[in-house]
Structure 1
Amino acid sequence: MMLKKAQMKRFSVSLEPAEYAELYRLAQANRPPLSLQFVTRYALQRFLDEHRGKQLQLPLSNK
């Protein structure tokens, strides 16, 4: 569920150049083109919906 605009919180994320380019390509492939912010919020919402209530299985190492 998307929050109301007045309640939204901002954060920043750093991407590898290839990740940014792919995100930009996905956004531009739509007609009309979508904003990077919209595509990012959409992807994040899908991730949250898919993993809600579950333990993430992330490949983390202690390096």
Structure 2
Amino acid sequence: MSGTGKTEMRRFTISLEASAYEELKDIAASQRPPLTLQYTVRYALLRFLDENRGQQLKLDIE
């Protein structure tokens, strides 16, 4: 963290199925006020991290 108090951000790219992408866009747009897709994905990811911190993921891998 720098002296300005801002958190360092890192950028990465993901690929989603079109249906998942459209669903995320719909969720973001349906909020009042509407949210950006970037904020919505960041929120979901941070929530995932909070809920799974220190745990083994239970992945359904076929």
- Scaled to the shorter chain, the TM-score interval is 0.7 to 0.9
Which residue of structure 1 aligns with residue 47 of structure 2?
A: 46
RMSD of aligned alpha carbons:
1.3
Q: Provide the rounded CA distance (Å) in 1 between the counterparts of 2:50 and 2:44.
A: 10
Q: Provide the rounded CA distance (Å) in 1 between the counterparts of 2:56 and 2:17.
A: 26
Which residue of structure 2 aligns with residue 55 of structure 1?
A: 56
Q: Provide the rounded CA distance (Å) in 2 between the counterparts of 1:8 and 1:28.
A: 24
Q: Provide the rounded CA distance (Å) in 2 between the counterparts of 1:41 and 1:59.
A: 23
| Structure 1, gaps ≥5 residues long | none
Count of matched residue pairs: 57
TM-score normalised by structure 1 residue count: 0.84
Q: Provide the rounded CA distance (Å) in 1 between the counterparts of 2:23 and 2:56.
A: 27
Q: Provide the rounded CA distance (Å) in 2 between the counterparts of 1:34 and 1:18.
A: 19
| Structure 2, gaps ≥5 residues long | 1-5
Q: Provide the rounded CA distance (Å) in 2 between the counterparts of 1:36 and 1:18.
A: 14
**Higher relative contact order by CA 8 Å / sep ≥ 6: 1 or 2?**
1
Runs of 4+ that moved beyond 4 A? none
Q: Provide the rounded CA distance (Å) in 2 between the counterparts of 1:29 and 1:60.
A: 32
